[in-house]
Amino acid sequence: MAGKRDAEKRGRGWGRGWRRGRVLGLLCLLVAVLLVFPRLVPNTPGRVGSLLETFLPWLGLAVPVLLAGALLRRSFLAVAALLLPVVTWSVLFGPLLFPAGRAPDGAFTVVQHNVSDVNPDPGATARALAATGADLIAVEELTAPALPAFETALAGDYPHHATRGTVGLWSKHPLTAVRLVDIRPRDVGEGWDRALRATARTPRGEIAVYVAHLPSVRIGPTTGLTSGRRDESAALLAEALAAEPLKRVILLGDLNSTLDDRGLEPVTSLMERPGPGLAFSWPARFPVARIDQVLTRSATVTGVRSLPATGSDHLPVAADIRL
């Protein structure tokens, strides 16, 4: 009899499940709304909105927490409301979970890598990049002592290369019209050269190739996300991209944020978003975000994938492009 009474009590508890858990239901709705409209979160103070956008896919971790709460509360309402963030996350990020796979034969492949200015073995990193067989290889944080190692390792398959400051581009195809692109924030002096532009003369026509390394951001307990310099450089890079006369453009770079970050909107609004593949690239030991980007104009990135770790704190990112 006691067991029967307990079962009846549990049944009555779940029977009231549509009337409890309203707070959990509202939290489910809030998560779904933030996934779709993260810009509802203001950027002041501390650029909280940009911080949310940088790690937006990880907002999905709220789902198992809310599910546990719904089960503890025996709330049908909260369980049903969970469908909102689950479906929303699946639509937004589900397609990215499919691996991009290896490049098909004949694909135009590019590799982007921040090689780290404290890389203990730049030669090994350069050899790993050469082994990809990509048409273009872009690197950032290329120091003067590391440059000879890259030139030696890449010379055989990549006879054409250009460097400006701490960024470099190696190509299987001739490079012309190479020039520095000035993306210095206003408070940074001469010698801070972190972007270049070149024309790659490929069998499929000329392509304007940009390599850029935007300033780093910092996250502090009192200041939040400090990205003023990064955003200023992004605006300057966008001006150069907007003025580019060639139709087809490829941008490779460490942009120091994800494509959802509103601070990169001047750039992302001019370029096409890449195809499937999360391709998290930073930090190399436990990647949580892709801040190394491959963007195109009048061309399509059909897939993005991260490559094995090198001596850098970033993972290389490879992308296949349909020209």
pLDDT tens digits, one per residue of 42-80: 987 778 888 888 889 999 999 999 999 989 888 889 999
Residue 265 pLDDT: 96
Mean per-residue pLDDT of the chain: 90
Residue 20 pLDDT: 80
Calculate mean pLDDT across residues 160-185: 98
Residue 6 pLDDT: 57
Residue 101 pLDDT: 57
Residue 244 pLDDT: 98
Model confidence at 14: pLDDT above 70: no
Model confidence at 182: pLDDT above 80: yes
Token pair for 134: 């990509």
Cα 255 to Cα 75, 135, 216, distances in angstroms: 43, 21, 8
Question: What are the extents of the domains in the chain?
Answer: 2-97, 108-322
Q: Which residues of 257-274 are buried (b: 16+ CB within 10 A; e: fewer)?
A: bbbbbbbbbbbbebbeeb
pLDDT over 90 percentage in the chain: 74
Strands 205-213 and 249-254: parallel
Residues 213 and 291: their CA atoms lie apart, in Å, by: 10
Calculate mean pLDDT across residues 169-175: 98
Instruction: For residue 112, name the pLDDT band (cuts at 50, 70, 90).
Output: very high
Strands 108-114 and 136-140: parallel
pTM: 0.87
For the ranges 95-109, 116-130, 133-147, the lowest mean pLDDT is seen at: 95-109
CATH class of 108-322: alpha beta
Calculate mean pLDDT across residues 245-254: 98
Q: Give the DSSP letter string of 177-246.
A: EEEE-----TT--TT---EEEEEEEETTEEEEEEEEEPPP-EEETTTEEE-HHHHHHHHHHHHHHHT--S
Model confidence at 238: pLDDT above 60: yes
